[in-house]
Structure 1
Amino acid sequence: MMIQSRCKFKVKRQYRSSLGRDIATCLTYSTLVIGLVLMQYDYVSAFEPDFVFPLENVTVAQGRDATFTCVVNNLGGYRVSGESGSPARVAWIKADAKAILAIHEHVITNNGRLSVTHNDFNTWTLNIKSVKMEDRGQYMCQVNTDPMKMQTAFLEVVIPPDIVYEETSGDMMVPEGGSAKLVCKARGYPKPKITWKREDGREIIARTGPHGKTKSHQVEGEMLSLTKITRSEMGAYLCIASNSVPPSVSKRMKVQVHFHPLIQVPNQLVGAPLLTDVTLICNVEASPKAINYWQRENGEMIISNDRYLMSEIENSMYAVQMTLVLRKTQKSDFGGYKCISKNSIGDAEGTIRLYEMELHKKKPNRYNNYDDINGSNDEDNEAIRSEDQNDESIFGSNGRLFKDAQSNLINSSKASTSNFLLIVSFISPVFSVILSKLLSITL
């Protein structure tokens, strides 16, 4: 009756409007009134509430927000225990703590980070802001039917790894042949895994295992033991903590291995001609870093200037190449040189001897010049060639007579001897025979 009268009133009041507009106004008003009646008298549904989707587990990093969503059908018109019972409601419960968090849209617990929302249809949502580790556990979406219906899901709170610096090693200095133990501690949930690597990508040498000396690019565990350490193991080591929750974190630890200097000389004897440049080299290994310098064999220290250029090239953390360049060498530059290296543990020196090298000069090719000036003359050129060949044979680079020069001298001697015997034979035939035998034995 109330709906009907109101519609008549509306039509009468809006008699100048179109008929369609009056009908729409009446239907809208009627719908609102029916809704209010149902809410006031709690319309009873014949269908029991049921869950549409399962409640899903949630994993969230500490400090982020988490949400549980519960979807229930046929809840609005259902009464518990018949028509006289109370209407069905959705409740949120922390199952492991047996604590009621919220009922329908009202938060019960005294926790400002929790809130409940409802979309006025069939979806209820539990919101947890800035999740803490204490929020981790089992959550329940419950409907107070008879018997009770419920769904559960787990909230997993994870924490990214973090290095515990007060329990983690720092940089170390170890004598060569000694031992070093590096420790790395990290917190997080799940418990972080510790992995060791060398910063330069080289292998880590372990000598404490049951299999003796082993090499690997990474080692797992909170402690890294380096025994009987050598200079090649010097460098930076990385402790990396990870637990599948980004980001992973790492700490850099520098291991210094100390030893006295060692010098290697590639060439201990170096030759150079006058007025040329020559380079002397010494390779030095030392840790901690050493003071390196050059001396003459008489103890005079060499100072870098226009004629003496000194430089150092670092090949690694402990290896250095010393270089001394002598420009336009003079007579006074030849002799002994020392490369010296000193650090806090000890010192070492290497010796290089510089000697003078003589350059051989070639004789000029005279017949070529003759041809260029006076034209070609085969006979003259042949004579000059013959003379040059005799000269080259006698004055070779090794300072010895060549075979062809010796044969020319012997042939010349034989010719002179035969002429002498011919003269003697005219004087005394017997004496000439004896003399010729003696000469033949000699030649």
Structure 2
Amino acid sequence: MNSLEKNLWFLLFSVNVVKTLYEPQRNPPGWNKAVDLQPFFGNAPTNRTILSGQTAYLECRVHLLGNKTVTWMRVRDFHILTIGPVSYTRDERIKVFHDERTDDWTLQIRYSQPKDSGVYKCQVNSRPKIVRNFFLKVTTKDEFEGQLYKMASSNRKYDGYDTCITGPRVRFVESGGTLTLECIVTYVKTPPPSLLWYKGNHLLDYNSPRGGISLKVETSGDQTVSKLLLYSFRPKEDSGNYTCLPFNAPSASTTVYVERDKNEVIEVQLDNGNPASVISVNTAVLAFSFVLAITLYFS
């Protein structure tokens, strides 16, 4: 082999080596780069306890759904309720909601009844298929309100739970103003299946005659946080005791005083039925100013 042949052979060999190292690898037929990115469930409460007549919300959070479909099924009769955004039930109370900005597929059951209690399945048609069970209990008002007087006092350990409302025990709100109450339930094992708010002995929710109510519940780590936002406070109707009542956990309460105007604060009924004696802020300031003036005059 002369030198020219040797050089040509070396050149061809080098080109093949470089081509092998740097040429993109061809994928086998049917290969999908997202094959390892399977859908999976995110953290969301799977136990709900509500009062009859309330709207039930079961939130199924699915990450990396891709082109797969979420299906809701009622286990009691194995009835398919929804497939994707489409309902497959004649019960107009039942719908599914999905915001494309989130990964939540929320099953809504309006005007709930005790017969709606049971297990609901959220499943995704991935391979393998993934399924998560949700447990709903619809109870009567008398059954649930009976717990309001059996719960231990606030801020005390009770069967692995601790409940508190953040902020001061007594709050002042201007007439027409807004107020946010935040209740934190810390638990050892599992979060409470439900958490309700009461004003006195009256339940507060979206369907309350008062209106102007917003509720938000979040579960993270070992805590469940419920935020109650109240709009357009009225002095006579909205002053009083507000209670955060988790299911099977201690309650926590706070007292709200609504100012009638700048010179007066309305009286509020306490738990024992006796009105609280509240002194006008401006009256107290005037009395203090008068005493101070007399003191300075004779000193």
What is the TM-score normalised by the length of structure 2?
0.36
Q: Answer with 1 or 2: which has the greater Rg.
A: 1
Higher RCO (C-alpha under 8 Å, 6+ residues apart): 2
- Larger relative helix fraction: 1
What is the TM-score normalised by the length of structure 1?
0.25
